Structure 1
Amino acid sequence: MQSKSRNPLEKDVRKKRKPYVHDQKKRNEILCQGFSKDKIPSDLDAIIVGSGIGGLTTAALLAKSGKRVLVLEQHDQAGGCCHSFIDKGYEFDVGIHYIGQLNSPTINRTLCDQITEGQLEWEPLNPDYDVVSIGFGEENRKYLVKTDLQEWKNYLKTEFPEERSGIEKYFELVLSCNKSTTLMGILKLTPLWLVKLVLWTGLLKRFTKLWSKVFLTKTMDVVNELTTNKDLQTIFTYCWGDYGTPPSRSNFNMQAMLNRHFSECGASYPIGGASEIAFSIIPVIEKTGGRVLVRANVTEITTRGDKVCGVKVEKGGDKIEILAPIIISSAGVYNTFQSLLPKELSSKSYFTDIARTLKPGVASMSIFIGLNVSNDEIESKKQNVWSFPVNNTDQAALDYFDLSAEEAMTAEVPLLFISFPSTKDPEWANHPGRSDKSTLALVTLANWEWFKDWKDKGVKKRGDAYKELKDCIGHQMVEHTLKLFPELRDKIDYVEIGSPVTNNHYLAAPHGEIYGLDHCSERFDPLMIAKLRPETDIPGLYLTGQDILSCGFTGALFSGILTAQACLGRNVMADLINLHKKINSDKKKVE
Structure 2
Amino acid sequence: MSLAGSEAAAAAAEAAAAAAAEEAAAAEAAEEAAEEYDVVVVGSGLGGLSAGALSAKYGHKVLVCEAHYIAGGCAHAFERGGYTFDSGPSLWSGCAAPSTNPLRQVLDAVGESPEWVQYGGWNMYTPEAPAGFYAAAGDMGEWRRTMARLGDGERTVGQWDRLLEFIEPLQRAVLAVPPIALRADVGAVLTAGPYMGAMADPRIGLIGAMADPRIGLRAYLLSGTWSAVLEAAGVTDPWLRNWFDFLAFAFSGLPSDGTVAAAMVYMLAELHADGARMDYPLGGSGAVVEALVRGLRKHGGELRLRSAVEQILVDEADGRCTGVRLVGGRVVHARRAVISNAPVWQTAALLPPAARAAVRATGSAPLDASTPPTPSFVHLHLGIRSDGLSEQALSSWEKLTQPQSAAFVSVPSLLDPSLAPEGRAVIHAYLPATEPYEVWEGLTRGSAEYERLKARISQLRAAPLYAAIERFIPDVRARVDVELVGSPLTHERFLRRHRGTYGPELSAADSAFPGARTAVDGLLTCGDSCWPGIGVPAVAGSGIAAAHAVTGAGAQRELLREMRERGTLLPA
The TM-score range, normalised by the shorter chain, is 0.7 to 0.9
Offset of 1:368 from its aligned partner? 0.4
Aligned counterpart for 2:415 among listed residues 420, 424, 427: 424
Q: Are positions 1:482 and 2:445 aligned together? A: no
What is the percentage of aligned positions where both structures have the same residue?
Answer: 19
**C-alpha spacing 1:161/1:425, structure 2 compared with 1 (3 Å):** same
Aligned counterpart for 1:435 among listed residues 401, 409, 422: 422
Aligned counterpart for 2:501 among listed residues 488, 505, 513: 513
Structure 1 window deviating more from structure 2 (466-475 vs 66-75): it is 466-475
**C-alpha spacing 1:543/1:367, structure 2 compared with 1 (3 Å):** same
Q: Are positions 1:81 and 2:89 aligned together? A: no
After superposition, the C-alpha distances for 1:63-112 in whole angstroms (9 at most, x for unaligned) are 22222211111111011122111111111011131211123332447624
Q: Secondary structure at the match of 1:559?
A: helix
In the alignment, the residues of structure 2 paired with residue 214 and residue 548 of structure 1 have an alpha-carbon distance, to the nearest angstrom, of 14
Structure 1 window deviating more from structure 2 (364-373 vs 205-214): it is 205-214
Indicate conservation of the 8 Å contact 1:327/1:540, yes or no.
Answer: yes
In the alignment, the residues of structure 2 paired with residue 84 and residue 58 of structure 1 have an alpha-carbon distance, to the nearest angstrom, of 20
Offset of 1:310 from its aligned partner? 1.5
Q: Secondary structure at the match of 1:324?
A: strand
Query: What residue number does 2:333 align with?
Result: 323
Query: What residue number does 1:310 align with?
Result: 323
Offset of 1:295 from its aligned partner? 1.5
Indicate conservation of the 8 Å contact 1:41/1:291, yes or no.
Answer: no
Query: What residue number does 2:394 align with?
Result: 387
After superposition, the C-alpha distances for 1:163-182 in whole angstroms (9 at most, x for unaligned) are 23222223334544323477
Query: What residue number does 1:344 align with?
Result: 354
**C-alpha spacing 1:209/1:291, structure 2 compared with 1 (3 Å):** farther
Query: What residue number does 1:117 align with?
Result: 111
Offset of 1:564 from its aligned partner? 1.1
Q: Are positions 1:364 and 2:394 aligned together? A: no
Q: Are positions 1:247 and 2:256 aligned together? A: yes
Aligned length: 503
Query: What residue number does 2:516 align with?
Result: 534
Query: What residue number does 1:58 align with?
Result: 51
Indicate conservation of the 8 Å contact 1:110/1:580, yes or no.
Answer: no
Q: Secondary structure at the match of 2:484?
A: strand
The AA in structure 1 aligned to 2:383 is G
Structure 1 window deviating more from structure 2 (56-65 vs 250-259): it is 250-259
Offset of 1:509 from its aligned partner? 1.0
Query: What residue number does 2:11 align with?
Result: none
After superposition, the C-alpha distances for 1:273-321 in whole angstroms (9 at most, x for unaligned) are 2212222332333345532111122121011120111112113xxx322
Query: What residue number does 1:20 align with?
Result: none
Q: Secondary structure at the match of 2:345?
A: helix
Aligned counterpart for 1:560 among listed residues 540, 543, 551: 543
In the alignment, the residues of structure 1 paired with residue 78 and residue 550 of structure 2 have an alpha-carbon distance, to the nearest angstrom, of 33
Q: Are positions 1:277 and 2:271 aligned together? A: no
**Aligned 1:146-161 pairs, distance under 5 A:** 146-148=136-138, 150-151=140-141, 154-156=144-146, 158-159=148-149, 160-161=153-154
Indicate conservation of the 8 Å contact 1:53/1:82, yes or no.
Answer: yes
In the alignment, the residues of structure 2 paired with residue 571 and residue 441 of structure 1 have an alpha-carbon distance, to the nearest angstrom, of 44
Q: Are positions 1:104 and 2:104 aligned together? A: no
The AA in structure 2 aligned to 1:347 is A
Which is higher, the Rg of structure 1 or of structure 2? 2
Q: Are positions 1:68 and 2:68 aligned together? A: no
**Aligned 1:185-334 pairs, distance under 5 A:** 189-190=184-185, 208-209=216-217, 211-212=219-220, 216-217=224-225, 219=227, 222=230, 226=234, 230-239=238-247, 240-264=249-273, 265-287=276-298, 289-305=300-316, 306-315=319-328, 319-325=329-335, 326-334=337-345
Q: Are positions 1:143 and 2:149 aligned together? A: no
Structure 1 window deviating more from structure 2 (466-475 vs 91-100): it is 466-475
What RMSD, in angstroms, separates the aligned Cα atoms of the two structures?
Answer: 3.7
TM-score by length of structure 1 reads 0.75
**C-alpha spacing 1:39/1:94, structure 2 compared with 1 (3 Å):** farther
In the alignment, the residues of structure 1 paired with residue 527 and residue 536 of structure 2 have an alpha-carbon distance, to the nearest angstrom, of 9
Indicate conservation of the 8 Å contact 1:48/1:72, yes or no.
Answer: yes
Query: What residue number does 1:196 align with?
Result: none
Q: Are positions 1:132 and 2:127 aligned together? A: no
The AA in structure 1 aligned to 2:356 is S
**Aligned 1:7-86 pairs, distance under 5 A:** 42-86=35-79
In the alignment, the residues of structure 1 paired with residue 182 and residue 300 of structure 2 have an alpha-carbon distance, to the nearest angstrom, of 33
Q: Are positions 1:415 and 2:422 aligned together? A: no
Structure 2 unaligned runs (5+)? Answer: 1-27, 187-209
Offset of 1:573 from its aligned partner? 5.8
TM-score by length of structure 2 reads 0.77
